[in-house]
Structure formats: C-alpha cells, structure tokens
Amino acid sequence: MLRESSAPLLIQEIRGLGYEVPAALLLDGKSVYATGDFDGSIRLTRQIADGLWDGGFRDFAGDDPHSSPYLQSWFAADFEMVQWFQSKGVRPGSTKHSLSGLHFYGDRHGSPGWIFGNDANEIPCNSELVAQLKQDKDLYHDLCSCLCSAGGCTPISKMVRSFMDPGRDCKTLGQNLAAWVKHAAISPEELHDCLCEALRAVFFQIFFDETDHTCCDIGYYGDIWIGSSTVQSEPEPSLADSDVSHREVNFRDSLEKGIQRLNICKCPISGKILCVIYWKGICRSDGSPSIEGDS
C-alpha cells in the first residue's frame, strides 16, 4: 500500500531517472480530500473517499493553512461526507482559524449558488449534525474581532457578508435568513438574538466597505481568507480613521434604533430586516414590511 508520505521521495526518484512529472501530480500542499467548489461541480463522493482511504491516504489536513476538507463538506452542505469524515476520526467540532462547520454552513445560506438553484430553502439540512455543533456554545463565535459582529463572527454574520458581497442590498436577505432559522432549528428563545446579529451585520455592510472587515472570510472554494484580527482583543473594536470613526458613530446609532424597531416589528421572519432598514413606523396589516416608496 502506497503511503502519501512517500510522494516527495517518489517524485525525486522519477525525476532522477530523467522523467518529467506532470503538473497535475505535483504536490501543492493540499490534502487529496480537498475538493471544495462553490458550485459543487467538483465534489468528493463517499466512493472516491473510500478508495483514497483504502489506498493509504490518511492525511486530511495537508500543509494548507487555509482549507479543511471536513469544513468544505459543511460549506457544500454535503452531510454524507461530513459523516464520513467523522467516521474516520475527525472531531465534529473541528475548526480552522476558529471557524466551525456552522460558520461554513451559514456562509452557504448567504450565497446558495446555482447547484441549489440560488435558493437557500433548497440547501440540504441534517438537523442531527447541526444540533451536534450547536450544543457546543464555543463553536458559535469565532475568535476574530470585527465590528460586523459582537464577540466574534457567527454563522449569521458570515451569511450576511456572503449575501451582500459584492454590493448587493438586503431586499431578499430575509428569505435566506428564514431558511437558516429553519435549517438550524432556531428556537423562539434564540430568534431575537439571531435577528439582532443579522441586523448588525447588515448595518456594517451599509456603513462600511468590504476592506473595513478585520475578520476572516470564507472564499469561493471554502478556503479561509485570514483577517487582520484573528485573536479577539476587545468585544467591539473601534476604528481609528476620522472618517471611519464618523461612520462608526452612525453605525452604532442606526443599530440601536434598528433593535428598538425590531422589538415592535410584527412582520414574519422573512420581512423583519427589510422592515427595520426601511422603517416607516408601521408594519402592513398583511404582515409584509412597509418600506420607503410604498403607497
């Protein structure tokens, strides 16, 4: 049985015999199990994974500090592979740069992709696996420090950032948020905090630029772009530049007022964020939000 640790020596010996090694076979530091793809056209299946495992490939991590095949499976909402990795010894609560499977699953709800018909409601759900991670409260917040979230980024702040990047408004965000509430089995007791997290992240996207984020971001292939603040230093960092500081004042003021509005909003979950952002003082009698420009 060939062990993957022998690969560098084999490449050296092949070259020593005067043969060229195809670029596709060169080592890139990634695990052979790293096949994350946003649209799912490149997807690791259980059959392929079993073949790799039986062939001696046992390294899930590789040398890549930016990706994790296990977390990529959460990003793809591929719960068959999530269970496969767990069956091979991967801890359910494994993280990369303090991001858990919940963060990757939440990010997917912001941008479902064509593989799920661009509809968050079509994203697969495994309530048992999601509940498994939710039980560990330490997995809900990462260790980044950024104004887009309080106490570290959450699956919801990742969802909002993914949804509103680049430059999208929040007019249909409520549908994605409602899908998350359903798939993550958000309880009535958790719902208010969930909505406040979403509102905070939306206001950040409104008042600040993408480059003002100091937290980690999840990329197209389920890889992690490391932010400038990967270790939490203070619950809510302030930004120094005078223009940014002015925007921060407006951000905090809008967030405070937004939460007050949220407390009296009667709209369904899918309409609450839109109603609060475009507040006119009253919700429509049919439960849909009343916004600027409505008659």
Domain boundaries, the chain: 4-277
Calculate the alpha carbon distances from 278 to 133, 226, 293 in Å: 34, 33, 9
Beta bridge partners of 211: none
Query: pLDDT > 90: what percent of the chain?
Result: 48
The radius of gyration of the chain's CA atoms, rounded to the nearest angstrom, is 22
Q: What is the pLDDT of residues 133-191, one digit of tens each?
A: 999 999 999 998 899 999 999 999 999 999 986 666 677 899 999 999 999 999 999 99
Q: Residue 66's pLDDT is what?
A: 78
The alpha carbon torsion through 27, 44, 136, 63 (nearest 10 deg) reads 0
pTM for the model stands at: 0.83
Residue among 145, 50, 53, 138 nearest 92 (CA): 138
Q: What is the pLDDT of residues 38-61, one digit of tens each?
A: 666 667 889 988 988 887 787 787
- 254-259 average pLDDT score: 94
Q: What is the pLDDT of residues 75-115, one digit of tens each?
A: 999 999 999 999 999 999 999 999 999 999 999 999 998 88
What is the token pair recorded at 48?
Answer: 């392929």
